[in-house]
Structure formats: C-alpha cells, structure tokens
Amino acid sequence: MKVGIRDGMLPVPFEESFKQAKDIGFDGIELCMGVNYRQHTLWQDGGIDIVNSLAEDAGIEVSSLSPGGFTAFSFMNPIDSIRSEGIAKLQYLSETCPKVGANVVLVPFFGGGQIKEEHITSSRFIDGFKAAAETAEKHNVYLGIESTINADQHQQIIDQVGSKHVGVYYDMGNATNLGYDSPSEIRSLGSSIVQMHIKDTGGNHAGEGDVDFPAVFKAAHAIGYDSWFVLETPGKDDAIASAAKNMNFVRDNF
C-alpha cells in the first residue's frame, strides 16, 4: 500500500508540489488537469521530461493522472468533435502514463458529464469507452471510472466494455454522500477497483466524517487491495497539517 495526494490539494505551484508532497511524507502525487488541459505541463514540448525530473529530484512517484476536465468531453457529448476530443485525450494520457511511471488514468463523470441510467447501455457511451480502452490495453494502463452511479452499474459498464483495463477509481467519501454502502460496494467490485481516493464527508479530515473507515479498510483488505490510496480530502486552515494528518490516518489504520 502506498499513500499519495492530488497535486491540487497542496497550496504550492505545480513545480513545487512534488517536493512538498515528499516533505510531508507521501509516496506519490496524482497529477490533475482541468478543462484547459492543453496548458498542462504534460501537453508541452518536453513536458514529460519535466515531470520525470521533478519527481526524481523530489524522490517521489507519480501515482496516477487525473483529467478532471474530461467531464466536459464525455462519451455522451452530443457534439461529435467534442466527444472525439475526449477520447483522444484519454488515449494520449494512456500513452503518457507509463512514461511517467504510472499506470492509472482517472476517468471522471460528474456535472454535465454525469452518467445517467440510460447511458449505461448506450452504444455511443460503450463504444467511446471501448476506443479509449483499446489504447489503454496497448500501454498496460487502467482507466478508472469515478462517477455518481452505484457499484452494480459500474460493473455493468465494465462488463459491456469487455476490457480488463477498465475499472473503478473508488471514492468512499463520494459513495457515502450518495447513500451507498462503501464497504459492501468495495467487496462487490473486488478486482474491478483499480485505485482509491481517500475522502470523508462534509470536508472533514479522514475519520471525522460519516465514512466508516474501519469497515472500508477491512473490505479493502478482504479483496486484497494493496495499491494506492490517494488523498482527495480538503485541507483546513493549514493545508499542509491537514495533508499530514490525513496521510497518517491512512498509514495508522489500514
């Protein structure tokens, strides 16, 4: 088990986030990009080398890539050019992921890109995922769905795409907020979980909200989960102290 943090959770510029994460004690950092993703370092000439240099100098790993802005380019977007751009974005990240030493790309479906029940069996949705998954398979990268649907619905999508390189990026904080039973969902999804965020409810530190972390960690152990836990827990007045507190909570309780 390794503990990472999303770079956006740290109150420093991108270039300083690697060292800051290492100084706190994290094993890795999740690189996040928004709607204007082409401005991110990974899309710039020499950007991959820059990321690798920053990680090497800090002595920290890149845990995963998180294109938060993908939700604006989702597979169900009615405009074909925007939908195609979203697929191309995931394909590029699948190609880039191993070049920075990672193997998971988070695929978010929130807001206007939220997965609706009718999308789950839509050929437009599934075909888009298949196109992205084909590239992920070639590069031994896993696409992790993070969304508002339940475990059974996630599994239905995974089964229809038919690729072992598509799974769930599980967030117990989101699931609990949505009224789902996180420990039961984790046990149900099993090996379909490719990575996990650490988040509690209400913007609280881990262990201080409504998430039943003892049961969540017990379920994670039960399915043999031994990969990254990446913090997406908001900081309080002192973001660095909050990050350290949440990190230590995971290390002390998992």
Question: Using CA atoms, how far apart are residues 136 and 153, in angstroms rounded to an integer?
Answer: 21
Question: Using CA atoms, how far apart are residues 223 and 236, in angstroms rounded to an integer?
Answer: 32
Q: Is pLDDT above 90 for 17?
A: yes
127-167: pLDDT as tens digits:
999 999 999 999 999 999 999 999 999 999 999 999 999 99
Token pair 């100098």 is at which residue? 57
Nearest to 231 by CA among 29, 55, 60, 32: 29
Note whether 12 and 37 are within 8 A (CB).
no
What is the domain count for the chain? 1
185-201: pLDDT as tens digits:
999 999 999 999 999 99
User: Up-side HSE of residue 121: CA atoms within 13 Å toward CB?
Assistant: 2
For the segment 5-28, the average pLDDT, to the nearest whole number, is 97
HEC profile of 189-208: HHHHEEEEEECCCCCCCCCC
Instruction: Name the residue range of residue 46's domain.
Output: 2-253
Nearest to 94 by CA among 132, 39, 62: 132
209-245: pLDDT as tens digits:
999 999 999 999 999 999 999 999 888 889 999 999 9
Question: Using CA atoms, how far apart are residues 112 and 63, in angstroms rounded to an integer?
Answer: 27
**Tokens describing residue 130:** 């298949």
What does the longest C-alpha to C-alpha distance in the chain come to? Answer: 48
Burial class (CB within 10 angstroms; exposed 0-12, middle 13-18, buried 19+) of 101: middle
**CATH number for the domain harbouring residue 45:** 3.20.20.150
Question: Using CA atoms, how far apart are residues 1 and 41, in angstroms rounded to an integer?
Answer: 28
